[in-house]
Each structure stands twice: as structure tokens, then as C-alpha cells.
């Protein structure tokens, strides 16, 4: 075995430094020595991967929640549109106007749903999901509006039918008076009957007028307060109208019962009783 001369030692050492084996060892040593200073690099990468995965889950959950909330509202709005189109006491123009407003809300919600499903930023998604309740106010305003309008339409329908029965009552009461019966008390009840029906229709229409033009507050506290008050007042008017109808029904029963016991009225009360009982 040849000895390496002292002259060649520096060259050999230099060659070793340049060899791949030494370089690998150097890299390993460097990594090991600097582990304390560079440990954050691989850890940061893992944290970033975890954060990305966590954000994906949050995005998915946020989108699912947004889709569910929107779908629920769209279903309720479509149901309300069908009710409006079936209302008997609204003009075609009013039906078209109200249904058009509701349809616009459906379209807006569907557009928002598409945006939510396309969102890639979590904060943007949160803002879009929050806008479902803040900007559209379907359950805070639109659905209550529709409920009041629907209730008012039904009240007017019942009142109109009962007013037709009032004409029959008038005929029967007149016949009973002609036959010599004292109809003073029954006429008092009859006048109340007509007044309650008229007031029911008046209260129902006033309720509709109070809320039909309301629009979402979009975060405006003053407008929200005004909308809330208008809805509350309209509901109160609907309650009054419903109580009017209840009183009118009781009055109808009293009139029918009184007419049954009067001369010349017994043969003409059957039709009236049947008609009133159908309401």
C-alpha cells in the first residue's frame, strides 16, 4: 500500500471535500446542526397543509349551510307565490305585482346560492351566508307579509259570503215583521252582524295597505324598526278582523234561532241556516 506523501495530503483533502459522499454528510450535518433554527420550516409546511384542509372543510360546511337555508326559503316563497295566485279578492294587477316581488326574491336567492357555491375564500363565504338573513329578510319580513296578505284575502272572502247571507236575513226578518212578529231585538243583532262584517273587511284591507310596500332593511336599524312596527300593527288588525267574523257568526246563529220561532218564517229559514252554517 502506497503512502500518501505529505505534498499530496492537501489535494486529497480537497478532493474529499468535493466528493458526493462528503457533500451528503455535510448536508446531513448541517441539517442536524441547524435543526433548532430551521425546524419551523417543515412544521410551517405541515401547519399550512392542515390549515388548507381545515379551510376546505369549513368551506364545505359553510356552503352546505348556505344551500340549506336558501333552499328552505325558496320553497316557502314558491308556496306563497302559489297562494297569492289563488287569492280571490286581489285584482290580477295586484296578484302580478306581489307574485313578481316574491319571484324576484327567489331569483336573487338562487343567484346568491350560485355565488356561495363558487366561493373559494372563507371570509367571503361567511359574508354571503350572513347576507341570507341580513339582506333578504325572508322570514323576518317577506313571509310575514305574505301571511298577512293571505289572511286578509281569506277574511274578505268569508266576509263577502256572509254579506250575501245578510240579504237573505233581511228578507226573512221583513217577512217575520209582516207576519206580526216583534223583530226589534233581532234587528239589533242583525245590524251588529252587518257592522262586524264591514269592519272585518276594513281591518283586513288596512292590514294589507300597511305592509304591502315594505322592503328589506338591509341592515338599516331605523327601517328595521319601522318594518317591525308595521308588521305588528297589521297582525293586530288581522286579529280584530278575525274577531269581527267570530262575532258575526254568533250573531248569525242568534238570528237563525230567533227566526225559527217566528210565524211565517219557519218555512223560509232552512236555506238561510244551511248557508250560514257552511261558512
Task: Check if the beta carbon of residue 204 is closer than 8 Å to that of residue 238.
Answer: yes
Mean pLDDT by 10 residues, the chain (279 residues): 46 42 38 41 50 78 94 94 87 82 92 94 92 88 92 94 95 93 96 97 94 86 94 97 98 95 58 41
User: 215 is written with which cell numbers?
Assistant: 322592503
Question: Which pLDDT does position 217 carry in this prediction?
Answer: 85
Q: For residues 260 and 252, give the distance between their C-alpha atoms in angstroms, rounded to a whole number.
A: 12
Task: Check if the beta carbon of residue 208 is closer than 8 Å to that of residue 152.
Answer: yes
Phi, psi (rounded to 5 degrees) for 180: 100, 10
The answer to whether the Cα torsion of 47, 50, 51, 52 is positive or negative is positive
Torsion angle, CA of 72/78/83/85, rounded to 10 degrees? 170
Burial of 212 (0-12, 13-18, 19+ CB in 10 A): middle
Q: For residues 150 and 103, give the distance between their C-alpha atoms in angstroms, rounded to a whole number.
A: 16
Helices (H), the chain: 9-18, 20-33, 35-38, 40-85, 92-118, 122-134, 143-178, 184-211, 221-260, 269-277
Question: Which pLDDT does position 16 carry in this prediction?
Answer: 39
Task: Check if the beta carbon of residue 173 is closer than 8 Å to that of residue 259.
Answer: yes
Question: Which pLDDT does position 233 carry in this prediction?
Answer: 97
Q: For residues 22 and 214, give the distance between their C-alpha atoms in angstroms, rounded to a whole number.
A: 81
Cα–chain center distance at 256 = 43
Question: Which pLDDT does position 4 carry in this prediction?
Answer: 46
Crossing angle, helix 269-277 and helix 143-178, to 10 degrees? Answer: 170
Task: Check if the beta carbon of residue 230 is closer than 8 Å to that of residue 206.
Answer: no
Question: Which pLDDT does position 259 carry in this prediction?
Answer: 93
Domain boundaries, the chain: 53-134, 140-277
pTM: 0.69
Amino acid at each position: 500500500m502506497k503512502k500518501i506523501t505529505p505534498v499530496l495530503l492537501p489535494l486529497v483533502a480537497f478532493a474529499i471535500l468535493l466528493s458526493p459522499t462528503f457533500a451528503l454528510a455535510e448536508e446531513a450535518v448541517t441539517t442536524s446542526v441547524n435543526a433548532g433554527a430551521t425546524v419551523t420550516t417543515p412544521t410551517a409546511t405541515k401547519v399550512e397543509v392542515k390549515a388548507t384542509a381545515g379551510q376546505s372543510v369549513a368551506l364545505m360546511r359553510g356552503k352546505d349551510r348556505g344551500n340549506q337555508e336558501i333552499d328552505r326559503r325558496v320553497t316557502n316563497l314558491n308556496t306563497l307565490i302559489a297562494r297569492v295566485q289563488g287569492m280571490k279578492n286581489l285584482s290580477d294587477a295586484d296578484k302580478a305585482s306581489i307574485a313578481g316581488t316574491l319571484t324576484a326574491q327567489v331569483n336573487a336567492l338562487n343567484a346568491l346560492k350560485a355565488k356561495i357555491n363558487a366561493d373559494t375564500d372563507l371570509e367571503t363565504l361567511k359574508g354571503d351566508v350572513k347576507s341570507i338573513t341580513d339582506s333578504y329578510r325572508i322570514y323576518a319580513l317577506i313571509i310575514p307579509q305574505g301571511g298577512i296578505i293571505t289572511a286578509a284575502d281569506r277574511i274578505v272572502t268569508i266576509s263577502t259570503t256572509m254579506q250575501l247571507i245578510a240579504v237573505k236575513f233581511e228578507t226573512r226578518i221583513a217577512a217575520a215583521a209582516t207576519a206580526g212578529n216583534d223583530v226589534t231585538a233581532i234587528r239589533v243583532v242583525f245590524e251588529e252582524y252587518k257592522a262586524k262584517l264591514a269592519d272585518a273587511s276594513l281591518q283586513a284591507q288596512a292590514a294589507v295597505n300597511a305592509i304591502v310596500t315594505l322592503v328589506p332593511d338591509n341592515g338599516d336599524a331605523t327601517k328595521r324598526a319601522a318594518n317591525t312596527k308595521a308588521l305588528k300593527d297589521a297582525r293586530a288588525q288581522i286579529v280584530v278582523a278575525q274577531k269581527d267574523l267570530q262575532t258575526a257568526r254568533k250573531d248569525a246563529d242568534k238570528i237563525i234561532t230567533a227566526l225559527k220561532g217566528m210565524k211565517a218564517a219557519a218555512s223560509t229559514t232552512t236555506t238561510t241556516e244551511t248557508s250560514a252554517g257552511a261558512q
